[in-house]
Structure 1
Amino acid sequence: MSDSSNSPLDLAALRQRIDTIDSELMRLISERAECAAQVAHVKTADDPDAVFYRPEREAQVLRRVMEENPGPLHREEMARLFREIMSACLALERPIKVAYLGPEGTFTQQAALKHFGHSAISLPMAAIDEVFREVEAGAVNYGVVPVENSTEGIVNNTLDSFMDSGLHISGEVVLRIHHHLLMSSITRQDKISRIYSHPQSFAQCRKWLDAHYPHAERVAVSSNAEAARLVKTEWHSAAIAGDMAAQLYGLEYVAEKIEDRPDNSTRFLIIGNESVPPSGTDKTSVVVAMRNEPGALHALLEPFHRYQVDMTRLETRPSRTGAWNYVFFIDFKGHVDQPGIVSVLEEVRGRAQDMKVLGSYPVGVL
């Protein structure tokens, strides 16, 4: 007796069911977009310069989606779908303009699209300080800058830019970084004698390169996307870059995921002009300048320990105000509006030479 579970009739019925579900999905998404447009209309009626994008609200929605996701899609995959729906709905009223460290095809652009969705308008900048300037000038709504890599550590240019800026951190996004060795269609793999990449990518792939291309010249360039652009027309070179750059310049894969550490990831910060209300699961970043005296570091850290505030990062940078003075960049769990955090910051401010809150923002959801 034959099994009828895979019969044409059953397949036709399943496909018809999928078509019905798709029609219902479109109706519901359109209804959501209409509701979002009404929210924007209410906001504009009260304030013509109202801010439509609310980082804390988006984080709350995505967390709820992940918590209530029934499967079989993975919870992060479901959240990414909702991210794109929210991005498209927001773009109906006022698309978000986002500056990022360019050129086009960088991991920073990938982080920007991961955080804001593909309906955002992403604009490449040549340097981190240019991203800060564009946001400060109001030319864009937000900026995206790298702050630390799990392999190579802190991005000093970003920390230095915060020291001179009045911008707020409004979000974070962590991106798994996969490096690939890429070449153009006119290149023969056995003829590769030069490899282009950003210095950090060379560092993150050092062992693999030593094992597979020990004699190839390693040429440092400003970004992995620039490396991909250069090899497009060269017959003897390759580039270390990511999937976005490979697609943008139509390159072929010589080897995939050549990073030395499989958990290689980079954390990016979202910078804007507005402070962010609590979302329920938040992080705060501050920069503190301490007096140059014995016990200064202990005096800085003691209130965090006493109030049991979880510090997630502590970095030092030389101060620009005097020789051998340092400033501390600190990340910790919690929001500046929480009573315990208020007490900690009051004590730190009293002990410090100077302190600036860079922002409280939702912990990265995706």
Structure 2
Amino acid sequence: MENEKLQNLRDKIDKIDKEILKLLNDRAKLAIKIAEIKKTQGLSFYDPVREKNIINKILKLNKGPFSDEVIKTLFREILSATLALQESQKISYLGPEGTFTHLAAIKYFGSFAQFEPEDNIKNIFESVEKGITKFGVVPIENSNEGTVTYTLDMFMQYEVKIAGEIIIPITHNLLSLTGEKEKIKKIYSHPHARAQCREWLRKNMPDIPVYDVASTAEAARQASLDEDVAAIASEFAANIYGLKFVAKHIEDYKNNYTRFFILGKTFPNKTGSDKTSIMFSLQDKPGTLYNALKPFKDSGLNLTKIESRPAKMRKWEYIFFVDFMGHIEDEKVRKTLEEVKNYCIELVHLGSYPMFK
């Protein structure tokens, strides 16, 4: 009786699977027709605003038992696979394979995009500016370690736009080929990852030397070549490089997140929940920074980040980077920036993009 009941349930699942397959292919056929229309009209195949709206509508309909995060991941992959049928999306990211930037790129674009690793952040900016890749993914700030200043500096050299953002939790693990703590003679780590695990290393591996490498993925790659070597890296890297866990979640502070920018040649239309990024330089006079920031207060625009970097062209002059809530298409934003320009030597709109949720 139990076996018959089990078989009946499995038969129902098989029927649903067939229907899912049919619906997925029906959806793909419609997407291909849409792509043909976009091509004749010269429209972009990738529409992040449309994708965000699709996922938000689906999440509102979700009654479980799947969590919203699971549903979001499933539909992210459906959208990624559908876009791959329309146009190959080449995405450059800070490599090698298995970095947190690689993970952020997959979470944003889905695993069906074509990912191109780059050795450094500068190459990503250059690749996007020259149109070698459609988009690029770069780290901009970590909740514990602060701003990635090199990324900010690149905006002074390249004409690219910020087309989006994504924030992912950063968890570090101690990984090795064997998973045996006793065999470890040295550890490889990116300097930021080591700093985020300093106390754990002091308490648990006080006599084991730690060597800096260019990325957590490179640390994992090194560990995959030698049983005596361990790496501080992600679970994502462990899967890619065939490593086992020596210890999980060894970061000293658990609320550790990194924000990444999506670089492109253009930025998306407004969604109603957007951020705008600008950079500007000021005259070296008392009160100019106050005057440049006061219009934001007067208009009620919420600043979410302000950072200064040396201008590098002239000593003791600085470029200011500002993020605030709103989109350049908003009338209030346009009027505010017009007023801010009155106090600036130069003001550059870096992009307006959907706020990550």
Q: TM-score, normalised by structure 2?
A: 0.97
Q: Which moved more, 1:146-155 or 1:229-238?
A: 229-238
| Matching residue of 1:294 | 286
Name the aligned partner's letter for residue 236 of structure 1.
Answer: D
Alignment of 1:1-366 (within 5 A): 7-47=2-42, 50-185=43-178, 188-365=180-357
What secondary structure does 1:353 align onto?
A: strand
Counterpart contact for 1:284–1:359, Cα < 8 Å: yes
Rounded to whole Å, the distance in 2 between the matches of 1:82 and 1:245 is 24
User: What are structure 1's unaligned runs of at least 5 residues?
Assistant: none
Rounded to whole Å, the distance in 1 between the matches of 2:333 and 2:221 is 47
Percentage of matched positions with identical amino acids? 42
Counterpart contact for 1:188–1:236, Cα < 8 Å: no
Rounded to whole Å, the distance in 2 between the matches of 1:236 and 1:18 is 47
Kindly state the Cα deviation for residue 195 of structure 1 after the two structures are TM-superposed: 1.1
Rounded to whole Å, the distance in 2 between the matches of 1:235 and 1:276 is 47
Kindly state the Cα deviation for residue 237 of structure 1 after the two structures are TM-superposed: 2.0
Rounded to whole Å, the distance in 1 between the matches of 2:286 and 2:202 is 45
The number of aligned residues is 357
Change (3 A) 1:275 1:233: closer
Counterpart contact for 2:180–2:246, Cα < 8 Å: no
Rounded to whole Å, the distance in 2 between the matches of 1:203 and 1:146 is 17
Kindly state the Cα deviation for residue 191 of structure 1 after the two structures are TM-superposed: 3.6
Name the aligned partner's letter for residue 364 of structure 1.
Answer: F
Q: Which moved more, 1:31-40 or 1:15-24?
A: 15-24
Rounded to whole Å, the distance in 1 between the matches of 2:271 and 2:5 is 46
Rounded to whole Å, the distance in 2 between the matches of 1:177 and 1:250 is 20
Kindly state the Cα deviation for residue 236 of structure 1 after the two structures are TM-superposed: 2.4
Name the aligned partner's letter for residue 205 of structure 1.
Answer: C
What secondary structure does 1:314 align onto?
A: strand
What secondary structure does 1:139 align onto?
A: coil
Q: TM-score, normalised by structure 1?
A: 0.94
Name the aligned partner's letter for residue 76 of structure 1.
Answer: E
Counterpart contact for 1:57–1:279, Cα < 8 Å: no
Superposed CA deviations along residues 96-133 of structure 1, whole A, max 9, x for unmatched, are: 11000001111101000000001001010000000011
Kindly state the Cα deviation for residue 21 of structure 1 after the two structures are TM-superposed: 1.4
Kindly state the Cα deviation for residue 351 of structure 1 after the two structures are TM-superposed: 1.1
Kindly state the Cα deviation for residue 321 of structure 1 after the two structures are TM-superposed: 2.6
Rounded to whole Å, the distance in 2 between the matches of 1:231 and 1:76 is 32
Counterpart contact for 1:141–1:272, Cα < 8 Å: yes
Rounded to whole Å, the distance in 1 between the matches of 2:289 and 2:186 is 46
Rounded to whole Å, the distance in 1 between the matches of 2:60 and 2:295 is 34
What secondary structure does 1:82 align onto?
A: helix
Kindly state the Cα deviation for residue 46 of structure 1 after the two structures are TM-superposed: 2.2
CA RMSD, Structure 1 to Structure 2 (Å): 1.4
Kindly state the Cα deviation for residue 296 of structure 1 after the two structures are TM-superposed: 2.1
Counterpart contact for 2:142–2:256, Cα < 8 Å: yes
Name the aligned partner's letter for residue 257 of structure 1.
Answer: H
Rounded to whole Å, the distance in 2 between the matches of 1:79 and 1:235 is 38
Name the aligned partner's letter for residue 145 of structure 1.
Answer: V
Name the aligned partner's letter for residue 190 of structure 1.
Answer: E
Name the aligned partner's letter for residue 25 of structure 1.
Answer: I
Name the aligned partner's letter for residue 120 of structure 2.
Answer: A
Kindly state the Cα deviation for residue 188 of structure 1 after the two structures are TM-superposed: 4.7
Rounded to whole Å, the distance in 2 between the matches of 1:66 and 1:353 is 45
Superposed CA deviations along residues 262-315 of structure 1, whole A, max 9, x for unmatched, are: 111111110011231112211111111122121122112211111111111111
What secondary structure does 1:124 align onto?
A: strand
Rounded to whole Å, the distance in 2 between the matches of 1:12 and 1:359 is 55
Shift >3 Å, 4+ stretches: none
Rounded to whole Å, the distance in 2 between the matches of 1:297 and 1:217 is 46
Rounded to whole Å, the distance in 2 between the matches of 1:64 and 1:353 is 44
Counterpart contact for 1:188–1:235, Cα < 8 Å: no
Counterpart contact for 1:135–1:272, Cα < 8 Å: yes
What secondary structure does 1:226 align onto?
A: helix
